[in-house]
Chains A and B, each alone.
Chain A
Amino acid sequence: MWRFALNRLLQAIPVLLIVISATFMLVHSAPGGPFSAEKSVPPEVIAALEAQYNLDQPLWQQYISYLGDVVQGDFGPSFKYSGRTVNELIAAGIPATAELAFYAMMVALIIGVSAGVAAAMRPNTMQDYVPMSAAMLGICMPSFLLGPLLVLIFGIYLEWLPVSGWGDMPGDKIMPSITLGTGYAAYIARLSRGGMLEVLSQDYIRTARAKGLSERVIIFKHAMRGGLIPVVAFLGPAFAGLLGGSFVVETIFQIPGLGRFYVQAAFNRDYTMILGMTIFFATLIILFNLLSDMLAIWLDPKLRHQARGNN
């Protein structure tokens, strides 16, 4: 398994190189320079600014120096927030986003797994239909709709929870976490139902039943380990989705996190910020995909064997 992980990490290097090159080229082929928005700026000021940000050098030189900086973990200065580096801005956004993503994942896993397992235990009964219909509703209710509706009901009409902020008032983390987590809870419910149903029909479960084990032991000890592998494999992609979802949720609830910074950078055409954050996100996503794959391999002896065989 460690060889598998090392292999995947080595493979990630060219992938990241492609990401960096592609985003760099894309950003630099943008029509209109980063300072073209300020109309009344005299040309000599623009020239000075461009010199400050190395924009007057040929493109390949900029690329090489940028690549060198990135390898050292330096994303350079922000175009729009003068005096601040992209690293500082990313670091400022990490705590809120990490916390939000963690809570949302907890919401998703707890609701999703329990709903899916409950549904799989009594398929084609009300215990199956009700959570699965709710899951379908969750999938069809995007975060940018669910969030405002929750704010409307619990924030404005009932006045139970604060409508925005992060860590300023008690309870202001509840709605963002639920908004972000619900869609994933729905997917996880469907995945765990499917996985559990498949496992529960297998011989070793019949053996366990024949041995007279209690239903609880069968479900929690024997079936869940195999039945939840699809959920574990989904965690990597789900994390990438959570980052994307944080764009919306952080914008709605005005949370000072990475997602909101990214959207703001996109609106401000803050090129170094977009470039740096894209690379940062890509690295995170690759890492999380690797982690979720490794977890799935650890859980599934069949995959473990394959991973060993391939390397």
Chain B
Amino acid sequence: MGLFKASEQNQEQEQGTSLWKDAWIKLSKNYLALFGLSILGLLCLVSILTPWIAPYGYEEQNLILGATPPSLAHWLGTDIFGRDMLTRIMYGGRVSLTVGFIATAVALIIGVLWGAIAGFVGGRVDAVMMRIVDIMYALPFMIFIVLLMVVFGRNILLLFLAIGAVEWLTMARIVRSQVMSLRKQEFVEAAHSLGLSQWTIIRRHIIPNTLGPVIVYTTLTIPSVMLLEAFLSFLGLGIQPPQSSWGLLINYGVETMEEYPWLLIFPGVTLSLTLFALNFLGDGLRDALDPRTSKD
């Protein structure tokens, strides 16, 4: 009897981890998602190492050289001040990725906490909290960010907060609906009747089960945040020089695109490729982590 019980527990443990193992197996079969993952990894690596591996200095000008098309010395050409485009795109990527990750982290923290509290406490608290989310959904958030940037100056820290503050709403909704539906599930009831403490239930059952959708949505939030930053920088309301981001580089590229189209095309391709990679990764993760698709 004791032996039987032990083996049963063992089996349970195995099934507990199989969601992640399963997801990984599925993800590793999805070439587009793997492609996205490797592009993202490469970008992060390059961004971290930029100060050491960038071929030129960030502000290194060569006015005699001026704008040149791609060459052996400057793989992606130079801009009108003779600055190396590859170097500038690498430094711009650091800012774009940082904004992407930090603003998403802000959105993640607010959204998960908000949604989890609303879902757990339920009742009137839930109604009020979700009403606030509904109201904020109805607001023209793009306009609000422009407003914030105008009123408080174009501060990069504020940009993180402002973007994070508008991107948490969907996260809160996702987490809340997950928590709500989990609370009513039989296995949670079973855990209650087994006498497990509230905290153990949260830790063992609720959190692992909400993690999937949260990871998926986080992966999809990063590109939309990066897009928002590029959008604002393009309009001249986001990142300010001397700092640079891909949106700002595209903005400069547009000004001179007639004579020097590569100044628009290279940062544009970089941004699009990154968004592509992140979206594919997000879609792949959704397919891999969605329990509804794991049956087939």
Residues of A within 8 A of B147 (CB): 23, 26-27, 266, 274, 278
Indicate if the CB atoms of A145 and B235 lie closer than 8 Å: no
Q: Is the CB of A217 closer than 8 A to any CB of chain B?
A: no
Of the A-B pairs whose beta carbons lie under 8 Å apart in the complex, a sample of 20, sorted by A's number, is A26-B151, A27-B151, A136-B279, A139-B275, A142-B272, A142-B275, A144-B254, A145-B271, A156-B258, A241-B142, A243-B142, A244-B143, A247-B142, A248-B234, A263-B235, A263-B237, A266-B147, A277-B143, A286-B138, A289-B138
CA distance A149 to B272 in the complex (A): 13
Q: In the bound complex, how far is the Cα of B153 from the Cα of A26, in angstroms? A: 12
A19's contact among B139, B142, B231, B237, by CB below 8 Å, is which? B139
- How far, in Å, is B34 (CB) from chain A's closest CB? 16
Main secondary structure of the interface of B (DSSP, over half): helix
How many whole Å from A201's CB to the nearest CB in chain B?
Answer: 13
Report the Cα distance A286→B143, complex, angstroms. Answer: 14
Are B250 and A262 interface neighbours, CB within 8 A? no
Distance to closest chain A CB from B85 (angstroms): 16
Q: How far is the CA of A5 from the CA of B251 in the complex (A)?
A: 43
**CB within 8 Å for A278 and B143 given contacts A266-B237, A286-B138:** yes
Q: Mark contacts of A225-263 with chain B using CB atoms, 8 A cut-off: 1 yes-contact digit, 0 otherwise.
A: 000000000000000110110011001100000000011
CA distance A12 to B137 in the complex (A): 12
Q: Do B280 and A136 touch across chains, with their CB atoms under 8 A apart? A: yes
A94, B257: Cα distance in complex, Å: 30
| B169 CB → nearest A CB, Å | 11
Number of interface residues of A (CB under 8 A): 44
Q: Which of A26, A30, A267, A282 contacts B140 (CB 8 A)?
A: A282
> When the two chains form their complex, are residues A243 and B140 in contact, meaning their CB atoms are under 8 A apart?
yes
Chain A contacts with B in 106-160, Cβ cutoff 8 A: 136-137, 139-142, 144-145, 148-149, 151-152, 156
A52 at the interface (CB under 8 A from B): no
In the assembly, what is the distance between CA of A21 and CA of B261, in Å?
Answer: 45
In the assembly, what is the distance between CA of A302 and CA of B272, in Å? 40
Residues from chain B with Cβ under 8 Å of A289 in the complex: 138
B230 contacts partner chain A, Cβ-Cβ < 8 Å: yes
Q: Which of B150, B152, B279 contacts A274 (CB 8 A)?
A: B150
Interface check A15, CB cutoff 8 A: yes
Contacts of A304 in B (CB 8 A): none
Task: Tell me, in angstroms, the Cα distance from A29 to B152 when the chains sit together.
Answer: 9
Instruction: Provide the bound-state CA to CA distance between A282 and B46, in Å.
Output: 41
In the complex, which residues of chain B have a beta carbon less than 8 angstroms from the beta carbon of A222? none
Given contact pairs A140-B272, A281-B140, enumerate 14 new A-B contacts (beta carbons under 8 Å).
Answer: A19-B139, A26-B147, A142-B227, A144-B251, A144-B254, A152-B264, A156-B257, A248-B235, A263-B146, A266-B147, A266-B150, A266-B237, A277-B143, A282-B143
Instruction: Name which of B135, B139, B247, B257 has the most chain A CB atoms within 10 A of its CB.
Output: B139
Give the distance to chain A from B163, nearest Cβ to Cβ, in Å: 13
Do A244 and B140 touch across chains, with their CB atoms under 8 A apart?
A: yes
CB distance from A240 to the nearest CB of B (A): 6
- A183 (CB) vs chain B CBs: closest residue: B227
Number of A-B residue pairs, CB cutoff 8 Å, is 111
Contact partners of A31 in chain B: CB under 8 A: 152-153
Task: Give A262 to B279 CA distance when docked, in angstroms.
Answer: 30
B135 touching A29, Cβ below 8 Å = no
Contact, CB under 8 Å: B257 / A152: yes
Q: Which 3 interchain pairs have the tightest Cβ spacing?
A: A244-B142, A140-B275, A30-B151
By a CB distance below 8 angstroms, the chain B residues around A148 are 250, 253-254, 257, 264, 268
Is B70 interfacial (CB 8 A cutoff)?
no
A152 and B236 CA atoms in complex are apart in Å by 21
Q: What is the minimal beta-carbon distance from A286 to any residue of chain B, in angstroms?
A: 5
Are A15 and B235 interface neighbours, CB within 8 A?
no
- Residues on A with C-beta less than 8 A from B257 are 148, 151-152, 156
| Bound: A23/B146 CA distance, A | 11
Rounded to whole angstroms, the CA-CA distance of A252 and B254 in the bound complex is 9
**Does more than half of chain A's interface fall in helix, strand or loop, or is it mixed?**
helix
The complex places the Cα of A128 from the Cα of B279 at a distance, in Å, of: 18
For the complex, what is the distance from the CA of A251 to the CA of B236, rounded to whole Å?
A: 11
Docked complex: A4-52 residues within 8 A CB-CB of B: 12, 15, 18-19, 23, 26-27, 29-31
The answer for the CA separation of A153 and B235 in the assembled complex, in Å, is 22
Q: How far is the CB of B258 from chain A (nearest CB, A)?
A: 6
Taking the complex as formed, is A219 at the interface, i.e. its CB lies under 8 A from any CB of chain B?
no
Q: A269 on the interface (CB 8 Å rule)?
A: yes
B120 contacts the other chain (Cβ, under 8 Å)? no
Digitize B112-150: 1 where CB-to-A-CB distance is under 8 Å, 0 elsewhere.
Answer: 000000000000000000000001001110111011111
Whole-angstrom CA separation of A97 from B148 in the bound complex: 23
What chain B residues lie within 8 Å of A29 (beta carbons)?
A: 151
A93 to chain B, nearest CB (A): 14
Chain B residues within 8 Å of A142, by CB = 227, 230-231, 271-272, 275
**Residue on B with the closest CB to A15?**
B135
Q: Report the bound CA distance from A282 to B230 in whole Å.
A: 23
Bound-state CA distance A274–B142 (Å) is 13
B12 to chain A, nearest CB (A): 33
Nearest Cβ on chain B to A221's Cβ, whole angstroms: 29
Report B-chain residues with C-beta under 8 Å of the C-beta of A286. 138
Within 8 A of A (CB), among B221-278: 223, 227, 230-231, 234-237, 247, 250-251, 253-254, 257-258, 261, 264-265, 268, 271-272, 275-276
Q: Which residues of A contact B280 (CB under 8 A)?
A: 136
Shortest beta-carbon distance from B177 to chain A in Å: 16
Checking B140, B153, B247, B254 against A240 with a beta-carbon cut-off of 8 angstroms, the contacting residue is B140
Contact A140 B148, CB 8 Å, known A145-B250, A149-B264, A263-B235? no
